[in-house]
């Protein structure tokens, strides 16, 4: 099976999770993998990462990359959260904040999309998400801590992610569009890319 891998890039709050679900529904025969589902991943401390030059390759996700590779090969994997078998499908949508920015994954991606969402919009979305937590989770405290972190390092962290993801993306999407509009626009672009690729494969076997 020739699996077409679509990476959704963007910082936290850009709208990746909502978009990827809608894209999967539009595509039909599709799988989803999220980088955050892999507990085995190793991330550098944000402050040091920025000070050292913000190299995306310092984010190490060997199992995430391995699972994408196996699905592209036509092999099944076990989902990192549910432990259920995931069989290859025509489309594989992955949440990858850096897009093609990391060397370990860049060659596996067929189409990279960057969600261009203003930082203040993304922040508002994260705060709304926190405010909807159950009362016992003390959302007010979580929001306060998050804002302190955001002012100290978070904003610079997200700017660094954005710079990397934008560099080699195939399509930049307006992250302020409604989820349905965004999904329709991106799915059209994905189909166009796939048609061009298939046409090229037939023309130059």
pLDDT of residue 135: 58
pLDDT of residue 129: 86
pLDDT of residue 71: 96
Q: Judge whether 83 and 140 are in contact, CB under 8 Å.
A: no
Cα distances (Å, whole numbers) of residue 60 to 130, 160, 176: 27, 17, 30
Secondary structure element (H or E) that encloses residue 86, with its range: strand 85-86
Domain span at residue 168 reads 4-203
CATH number for position 143: 3.40.50.300
pLDDT of residue 136: 61
Q: Judge whether 177 and 185 are in contact, CB under 8 Å.
A: yes
> Phi first, then psi: what are they for 21, rounded to 5°?
-65, -45
pLDDT of residue 140: 59
Listed in sequence order, the DSSP H helices in 5-83 are 16-27, 46-51, 62-73
- CA 117 to CA 114: how far, in whole Å? 9
pLDDT of residue 142: 82
- Number of domains within the chain: 1
pLDDT of residue 203: 39
pLDDT of residue 202: 43
Closest of 143, 113, 112 to residue 125, by C-alpha: 143
Q: How does pLDDT run along the chain (205 residues), one tens digit per residue?
A: 689 999 999 989 999 999 999 999 999 899 999 999 999 899 999 999 999 999 999 999 999 999 999 999 999 999 999 999 999 999 999 999 999 999 999 999 999 999 999 999 999 999 988 888 765 666 556 888 899 999 999 999 999 999 999 988 999 999 999 999 999 999 999 988 888 877 765 433 3
Q: Judge whether 129 and 25 are in contact, CB under 8 Å.
A: no
As given in the structure block, the two tokens for residue 3 are 């699996």
């Amino acid at each position: 099976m020739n699996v077409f891998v679509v990476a959704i890039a963007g910082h936290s709050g850009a709208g990746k999770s909502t978009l990827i679900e809608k894209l999967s529904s539009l595509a039909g025969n599709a799988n989803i993998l999220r980088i955050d589902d892999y507990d085995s991943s190793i991330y550098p401390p944000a402050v040091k990462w920025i000070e050292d030059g913000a190299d995306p390759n310092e984010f190490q996700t060997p199992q995430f990359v391995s699972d994408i590779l196996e699905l592209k090969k036509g092999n099944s994997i076990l989902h990192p959260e549910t432990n259920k078998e995931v069989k290859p499908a025509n489309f594989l949508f992955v949440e990858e904040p850096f897009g093609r920015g990391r060397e370990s994954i860049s060659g596996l991606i067929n189409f990279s999309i960057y969600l261009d969402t203003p930082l203040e919009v993304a922040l508002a979305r994260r705060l709304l998400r926190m405010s909807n937590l159950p009362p016992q989770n003390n959302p007010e405290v979580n929001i306060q801590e998050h804002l302190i972190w955001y002012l100290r390092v978070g904003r610079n962290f997200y700017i660094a992610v954005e710079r990397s993801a934008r560099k080699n993306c195939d399509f930049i999407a307006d992250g302020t569009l409604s989820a349905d509009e965004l999904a329709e626009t991106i799915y059209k672009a994905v189909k166009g890319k796939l048609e061009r690729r298939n046409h090229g494969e037939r023309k130059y076997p």
